[in-house]
Amino acid sequence: MTYENASAKLKELVDELEKGDKTLEDTVKLYDEAVKLSGYITALLNNAKLKITEISNIDKDNKVSE
C-alpha cells in the first residue's frame, strides 16, 4: 500500500471510531486495524529511500549532443 492510500485509510478508520456507533466487537476490530495501519505507516516512513532512475533520449534522437 502507498503512503497516500494508507494515510487516507487511517483517516477513514479514525472517523469511523469517532462516530462511536458500532458494537463493542466492531469497535475493537476498528481499533486494532487502525493501530496496525499506523504502525505500517511508521514503518513505511522509516524505511523509505529515494530511488533515482535516469532516462534519456539525447543520444537516440541525435537532436542534441555535447
Partner 1 sequence: MRNFQAITVSQLNNYIKVLMDSDEHLEHILVVGEISNFKGANINGHIYFSLKDEESSVSAVMFRNSAKYLKFTPENGMKVYVFGRVSVYEKSGNYQIYADRIEPVGVGAMAQAYEELKNKLDKEGLFDPDKKRPLPKYPKKIGVITSATGAAFHDIINVISRRYPLCEIIFCPAFVQGSECAASNISALEEINKHDDIDLIILGRGGGSKEDLWGYNDENLVRAVRNSKIPVITGIGHEIDTSLCDLASDKSAPTPSAAAEIAVPDIAALYQMNDDLLVQINKEIKNYLENKEKELTSLNVIIKSFDPLTTVNSRITEIENLKVRAENAIKSYLSKEEIKVNSLDSELKRLDPVKMMKKGLLTVDISGKKLISAKELKVGDKIFLNLSDGTAGCTVDSIKLK
- Footprint on this chain of partner 1 (rule: CB under 8 A): 2-4, 7, 10-11, 13-14, 17-18, 20, 24, 27-28, 31, 34-35, 38, 41-42, 44-45, 48-58, 61, 63-65
Residue 48 in contact with residue 41, Cβ under 8 Å?
no
All three cell numbers of 21, joined, read 456507533
The nearest distance, CB 5 to partner 1, in angstroms, is 9
The nearest distance, CB 34 to partner 1, in angstroms, is 5
Dihedral sign (CA 2, 43, 10, 7) = negative
